[in-house]
Structure 1
């Protein structure tokens, strides 16, 4: 498998989808309810996903794709599976907030080996290949430095749509973070948070039962930039496409910042 070719396909597809989204945001966006947890889907999600599926499956017809809206496309159980989040930040778009990205990942035997995140508003793209680092669209390597503030870290929070508001662990984690962080961001666009962490704009991310489709691309991007990711109890973490929601709770930060963040949560 030529991962450089796969990255080229993924980047070009994500950027084309981003252009579609940016243009669509200038007009009226069709919005409707999705599921029972208060989520929504827009016409732009569907149009972006259609474009991404066509691009990826044309280039790799024997691969499987798991897409946010379409679910599994192609045969299950193959060694190569793409994950497609056509519009990460749909709830933001629904209220006219331009904070959204396009995310694509390629997994081999369940483990992410390629991740791409594209932000249409800034026209920036970040990508990573496992073991080869993370780069910007101009080829500059991502390597955020460590910084510490006496006022506490700036953190992002993400949780799965299926998490109940009265979940005791959720409430405990959120209360601790809000008490100790300088700022706790809830962007409704996890991949945007991962890109910010990989760039060094924020100090960490805490996730609780995160969604499966967007996690691998973001986690790989951050990890290849030098970010360390652990489970909430400090154990090893891998953003695989299988497993249960309980397997998708994590803490991510610069290696020098991670011990303090884990201690805070404990």
Structure 2
């Protein structure tokens, strides 16, 4: 991942950590898959239209139990329960290693019976993700990546999307869009970015499950993802996977993108794409960012 700073020394065996994370994600996936057959209690979560179910919390408890057993000295930041482990009580301790856990990415899909969701885990050395795991409970497939060592598909084969040309896709790309739950319908930048990108795409997906989109990008099924104020917990697992598969990442303004979890959320907007497509997408995002006026209007030169 070219734009990320070198991580601090990693005091764990990342091969073993990958095994623990894969097994935890797959066990959580089996729990989610079984729970999809029964009625779900869906509760509002926050004011941004997000929801939570008992499947989210059950899957998270399962994953956290395994991580705490294997790595009791590691910190954890989980989607539903927040921060736990060393430093969680505000004593000033800062763990060397921190896990990010999204037990059910795509809860809004599950709530309406749409089977598009995933489980994501990332391990960070300091603030830098060094391991990412994404599991798709619907298909039973798992993808993983270790920073600097590449990305692996479900069959254990190396993913190298940059080396796989897209026959018949010489024209407009297939893109995915993701935004944070707190982005409102009145956000002028989000609105005009989506419209401009969709006008230049063969198709633009809004899956409500970013980790699913990241695996599609890493596999080469889609050509790019644009994210606006994304959620921090589900970003590192998928972004690391895609970067290790050969995808390029930049900030919306084209600056180098550093995938660190200690950055302000306002700096997490990104463009992730196949290298040959990156420049075209950045032209669009740069034009929109420079054209949205104070009145929320946009003036684009087409």
- Regarding TM over 0.5, the answer is yes
| 8 Å Cα contact 1:116/1:125 also seen in 2 | yes
1:240 Cα deviation after fit: 1.4
2:290 match: none
State how far apart, in whole Å, the 1-side matches of 2:16 and 2:265 are.
32
CA RMSD of aligned residues (A): 1.0
1:255 Cα deviation after fit: 1.0
Which one of the candidate residues 57, 61, 68 is aligned to 1:57? Answer: 68
State how far apart, in whole Å, the 2-side matches of 1:258 and 1:51 are.
39
TM-score (norm 1): 0.98
1:24 Cα deviation after fit: 0.3
| 8 Å Cα contact 1:10/1:116 also seen in 2 | yes
1:150 Cα deviation after fit: 4.8
State how far apart, in whole Å, the 2-side matches of 1:32 and 1:146 are.
44
Q: Deviations over 1:6-38 (max 9, x none)?
A: 000000000000000000001111211111111
Do residues 259 (structure 1) and 270 (structure 2) align? no
SS at match of 2:37: coil
1:161 match: 181
1:242 Cα deviation after fit: 1.2
Which one of the candidate residues 213, 226, 235 is aligned to 1:215? Answer: 235
Do residues 113 (structure 1) and 130 (structure 2) align? yes
Which one of the candidate residues 238, 243, 248 is aligned to 2:263? Answer: 243
Do residues 3 (structure 1) and 14 (structure 2) align? yes
State how far apart, in whole Å, the 1-side matches of 2:54 and 2:259 are.
29
Q: Deviations over 1:176-201 (max 9, x none)?
A: 01111111100000011000000000
State how far apart, in whole Å, the 2-side matches of 1:151 and 1:220 are.
27
State how far apart, in whole Å, the 2-side matches of 1:158 and 1:3 are.
29
1:85 match: 102
Larger radius of gyration: 2
State how far apart, in whole Å, the 1-side matches of 2:77 and 2:267 are.
18
The alignment covers a number of residue pairs equal to: 266
Q: Mind listing any 5+ residue stretches in structure 2 that lack a counterpart? A: 1-11, 88-93, 287-302
